């Protein structure tokens, strides 16, 4: 298993090549770049931001960080402000996969390339490349594990986040992972937790109360899963209900280590940031880049926690 995971982590999946190029760019010259995140109220995004900050310091770049706090209208307005600051390139995590089009068109008009991180968008013809976790695989691993844990099926609930493309891919992967046993699983509720603990917690409380025989939750990210855990603890049902999720965050790994979460499939935000920056430099240098780059996801194990601990992202 360890050998498999080690080799798995070295793979980057290149899907197809983009023709988005800029010319007359010096790859060694410091650049002015912006990271427009969806929120910083999530350690996954702060890990990406911190990595960008370190890279900027190392290379003498000018780094601009923008946080719209999960507000799509605010994100577009902030993106327009960044464009007016004449940055060389924008790295973007969209609040809404479809609602960001206005900002992308503004960047295109000023010939500022955009590289999307983690959350694929609908108008991918307006971006140079998308660098993302293999979110479908992350969900699929969860579904496969749940099918293994409940070979005869179970009553389950799903906490999703339908405006976020990455989360949609995880949910799709989860159902695919259930495989031929999918019909044995009774999905008693599927609701939007908005990828947030404080939103998910009361939703999970209502689901638990309405379905006392519930056996498992699948949540699309660790904050949502932790909201489920809080709700299960409050109803004294944590020992009877398994929780499956995606992220491999420090908090998620701690919950897994404590036995509160059955499975968390890890993303690697530090690797995502490094790969995204590298792609951006290639775009500015006029090189062809892959239209989509998938960074592998993998299940967190007890052995990994014993070796690396739970305090940092991978």
Looking at residue 144, which CATH number applies to its domain? 3.40.50.2300
Q: Are residues 16 and 110 in the same domain?
A: yes
Q: Are residues 160 and 122 in the same domain?
A: no
Q: Structural domain of residue 212, as residue ranges? A: 135-266
pLDDT of residue 29: 86
Helix (H) or strand (E) holding 17: strand 17-18
**Interior CA angle at 197 toward 292 and 161, to 5°?**
40
Q: What are the DSSP calls for 60-101, one per residue?
A: T-EEEEE--TT-HHHHHHHHHHHHHTT-SEEEE--SSTTTTH
Q: What are the DSSP calls for 113-176, one per residue?
A: -EEEESS--S-GGGSSEEEEE-HHHHHHHHHHHHHHH-TT--EEEEEE-TT-HHHHHHHHHHHH
Q: With a cut of 50, say whether residue 108 has pLDDT above it.
A: yes
What average pLDDT score do residues 215-239 get?
Answer: 97
pLDDT of residue 42: 85
Q: With a cut of 50, say whether residue 21 has pLDDT above it.
A: no
Q: Where residue 233 falls among pLDDT bands split at 50, 70, 90? A: very high
Residue 94 in contact with residue 119, Cβ under 8 Å? yes
Q: Are residues 103 and 226 in the same domain?
A: no
Residue 14 in contact with residue 283, Cβ under 8 Å? no
Q: Are residues 126 and 20 in the same domain?
A: yes
Q: How many domains does the chain have?
A: 2
pLDDT of residue 10: 35
Question: Each residue of 177-192: pLDDT tens digit?
Answer: 999 999 999 999 999 9
Residue 159 in contact with residue 193, Cβ under 8 Å? yes
Q: Are residues 90 and 201 in the same domain?
A: no
Of 244, 266, 288, which marks where a domain is finished?
266
Q: Are residues 130 and 273 in the same domain?
A: yes
Q: Are residues 139 and 247 in the same domain?
A: yes
Residue 228 in contact with residue 125, Cβ under 8 Å? no
Q: Are residues 231 and 293 in the same domain?
A: no
d(CA 60, CA 32) in angstroms, rounded, equals: 9
Q: With a cut of 60, say whether residue 286 has pLDDT above it.
A: yes
Q: Are strands 216-219 and 155-160 parallel, antiparallel or unpaired?
A: parallel
Does residue 308 lie in a domain region?
no
Question: Each residue of 78-88: pLDDT tens digit?
Answer: 999 999 999 99
Q: Are residues 192 and 259 in the same domain?
A: yes
The percent of residues above 90 in pLDDT, for the chain, comes to 85
pLDDT of residue 45: 94
Residue 188 in contact with residue 207, Cβ under 8 Å? yes
Task: Tell me how far apart the 2 most distant CA atoms of the chain are, in Å.
Answer: 64
Q: Are residues 274 and 129 in the same domain?
A: yes
Does residue 313 lie in a domain region?
no
d(CA 64, CA 81) in angstroms, rounded, equals: 11
Q: Are residues 30 and 73 in the same domain?
A: yes
Please, is 77 exposed, middle or buried when counting C-beta atoms within 10 Å of its C-beta (0-12, 13-18, 19+)?
middle
Residue 231 in contact with residue 267, Cβ under 8 Å? no
């Amino acid at each position: 298993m360890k050998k498999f995971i080690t080799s798995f982590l070295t793979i980057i999946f290149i899907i197809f090549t983009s023709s988005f190029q800029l010319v007359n760019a010096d790859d060694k010259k410091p650049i002015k770049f912006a990271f427009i995140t969806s929120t910083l109220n999530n350690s996954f995004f702060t890990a990406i931001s911190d990595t960008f900050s370190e890279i900027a310091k190392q290379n003498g770049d000018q780094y601009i960080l923008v946080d719209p706090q999960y507000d799509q209208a605010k994100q577009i307005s902030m993106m327009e402000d960044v464009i007016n600051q004449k940055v060389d390139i924008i790295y973007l995590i969209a609040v809404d996969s479809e609602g960001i089009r206005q900002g992308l068109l503004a960047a295109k008009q000023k010939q500022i390339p955009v590289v999307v991180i983690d959350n694929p968008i609908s108008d991918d013809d307006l971006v140079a490349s998308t660098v993302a976790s293999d979110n479908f695989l992350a969900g699929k691993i969860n579904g496969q594990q749940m099918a293994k844990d409940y070979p005869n099926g179970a009553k389950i609930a799903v906490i999703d986040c339908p405006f976020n493309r990455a989360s949609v891919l995880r949910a799709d992967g989860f159902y695919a992972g259930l495989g031929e046993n999918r019909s044995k699983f009774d999905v008693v509720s599927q609701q939007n937790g908005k990828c947030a603990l404080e939103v998910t917690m009361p939703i999970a409380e209502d689901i638990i109360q309405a379905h006392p025989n519930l056996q498992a939750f699948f949540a699309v990210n660790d904050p949502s899963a932790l909201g489920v855990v809080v709700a299960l603890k409050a109803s004294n049902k944590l020992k009877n209900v398994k929780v499956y999720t995606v992220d491999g965050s420090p908090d998620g790994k701690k919950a897994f280590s404590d036995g509160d979460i059955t499975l968390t499939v890890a993303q690697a935000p530090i690797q995502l940031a490094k790969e995204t920056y590298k792609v951006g430099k290639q775009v500015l240098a006029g090189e062809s880049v892959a239209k989509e780059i998938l960074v592998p996801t993998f299940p967190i194990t007890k052995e990994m926690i014993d070796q690396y601990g739970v305090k940092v992202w991978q």
